[in-house]
Amino acid sequence: MSTSLPSAAQSTPPRAEQSANPLIGAWSTPDGVPPYDRIRPEHYEPAFDLAIAAAREQSQRIANDPAAPTFENTIEAMERSGRELSRVANTFFTVASADATPANQAIQKNIAPKLARLSNETMLDQALFQRVDTLYQQRADLGLTPEQNRLLEQTHKRFVRAGAALPADARTRVAAINEELANLGVAFGQKLLADQKANDVFLSAAEVEGLPADQASAAAAAAEAAGKPGQYLFPATRSAAEPFLTAAPNRDAREKIWRAFTFRGDNDNANNTSAEIKRLVELRIERAKLMGAATHADFVLADSMAKTPSAAMELLMGVYTPALVRANEELRDIQALAAKDGVTDVQPWDWRYYAEQVRSERFALDEAQVKQYMPLDGIVEAMFETTQKLFGLTAHERTDIPAYADGVRVFEIREADGRKLGLFYADWFARPTKRPGAWMNSVRVPNGLLGETPIVVNNQNITPPAAGERALVSLDEAQTLFHEFGHGLHGMLSTAHYPSLSGTAVSRDFVEFPSQVYEHWITEPTILQAHARNAEGEPMPAEMLESLLKAQTFNQGFFTVQQLSSAILDMRLHQLTALPADFDAGKWEAAQLRELGVPEEIGMRHRLPHFSHIFDGGYSASYYAYTWAEAMDADGFDAFKEAGNVFDPELAAKLRREVYEVGNTRDPAESYRAFRGRMPTADALLRNRGLK
pLDDT digits (tens, 9 = 90+) for 128-167: 999 999 999 999 999 999 999 999 999 999 999 999 999 9
Which candidate, 257, 244, 237, 242, places its Cα nearest to that of 214? 244
Q: Of 140, 165, 190, which residue constitutes the final position of a domain? A: 165
pLDDT digits (tens, 9 = 90+) for 458-476: 999 999 999 999 999 999 9
Residue 461 has phi, psi (to 5 degrees) of -125, 55
Specify whether 521 is located in the same domain as 387: yes
CA separation for the pair 652, 529 (Å, rounded): 21
Q: Is the pLDDT of residue 6 over 90?
A: no
Which residue in 484, 512, 519, 589 is the catalytic one? 484
In this structure, the strands spanning 420-429 and 455-462 are parallel
Is residue 433 included in any domain, yes or no? yes
Is residue 420 included in any domain, yes or no? yes
Specify whether 393 is located in the same domain as 524: yes
Specify whether 522 is located in the same domain as 413: yes
Is residue 450 included in any domain, yes or no? yes
Specify whether 76 is located in the same domain as 216: no
Is residue 179 included in any domain, yes or no? no
Which candidate, 194, 240, 242, 248, places its Cα nearest to that of 219? 240
Number of domains the chain contains: 3
Task: With beta carbons less than 8 A apart as the criterion, state whether 490 and 515 touch.
Answer: yes
Is residue 248 included in any domain, yes or no? yes
Amino acid letter for position 497: H
Half-sphere exposure of 546 (CA within 13 A, CB side): 4
The helix or strand, by DSSP H or E, that contains position 613, with its residue range, turns out to be: helix 612-616
Specify whether 380 is located in the same domain as 524: yes
206-215 burial code (b ≥16 CB/10 A, e <16) = ebbeebbebb
Cross-strand pairs, 533 = 539
pLDDT digits (tens, 9 = 90+) for 370-413: 999 999 999 999 999 999 999 999 999 999 999 999 999 999 99
pLDDT digits (tens, 9 = 90+) for 170-226: 999 999 999 999 999 999 999 999 999 999 999 999 999 999 999 999 999 999 999
Residue 605 has phi, psi (to 5 degrees) of -70, -40
Cross-strand pairs, 420 = 414
Which candidate, 54, 258, 61, 299, places its Cα nearest to that of 174? 299
Task: With beta carbons less than 8 A apart as the criterion, state whether 630 and 319 touch.
Answer: no
pLDDT digits (tens, 9 = 90+) for 557-576: 999 999 999 999 999 999 99
When pLDDT is cut at 50, 70 and 90, the band that residue 341 belongs to is very high
Which whole-number Å values give the CA distances from 46 to 7, 88, 155, 172, 568, in the listed order?
18, 10, 29, 28, 43
CA separation for the pair 102, 100 (Å, rounded): 6
Q: What domain range includes position 403? A: 371-496+513-529
DSSP assignments along 265-330, one per residue: T-SSSTT--HHHHHHHHHHHHHHHHHTT-SSHHHHHHTTSSS-SHHHHHHHHHHHHHHHHHHHHHH
Specify whether 144 is located in the same domain as 247: no
Q: Is the pLDDT of residue 8 over 50?
A: no
CATH at 393: 3.40.390.10
Structure letter (DSSP) for residue 426: E
Task: With beta carbons less than 8 A apart as the criterion, state whether 63 and 128 touch.
Answer: yes
CA separation for the pair 104, 123 (Å, rounded): 27
CATH at 53: 1.20.1050.40
CA separation for the pair 55, 150 (Å, rounded): 24
Specify whether 398 is located in the same domain as 523: yes
Residue 307 has phi, psi (to 5 degrees) of 75, -40
Distance from chain centroid for Cα 46: 29
User: Any catalytic annotation for residue 79?
Assistant: no
Is residue 191 included in any domain, yes or no? no
CA separation for the pair 545, 513 (Å, rounded): 27
Specify whether 112 is located in the same domain as 235: no
pLDDT digits (tens, 9 = 90+) for 212-245: 999 999 999 999 999 999 999 999 999 999 999 9
Specify whether 138 is located in the same domain as 225: no
Phi-psi region of 372 (alpha: psi -120 to 50; beta: other; left: phi over 0): alpha
Specify whether 436 is located in the same domain as 377: yes
SS3 456: strand
- Does this model's pTM top 0.95? My answer is no
Cβ-Cβ contacts under 8 Å for 335 (sequence gap 6 or more): 346
CA separation for the pair 65, 71 (Å, rounded): 13
Which candidate, 595, 560, 596, places its Cα nearest to that of 326? 560
Specify whether 522 is located in the same domain as 387: yes
Is residue 600 included in any domain, yes or no? no
User: Nearest 5°: CA angle at 657, between 141 and 80?
Assistant: 50
Specify whether 83 is located in the same domain as 131: yes
Is residue 641 included in any domain, yes or no? no
CA separation for the pair 446, 69 (Å, rounded): 27
Percent of the chain with pLDDT over 70: 97
Distance from chain centroid for Cα 587: 27
pLDDT score, position 19: 62
Structure letter (DSSP) for residue 375: B
Q: What is the mean pLDDT of the chain?
A: 95
Least confident of 17-26, 92-101, 641-650: 17-26
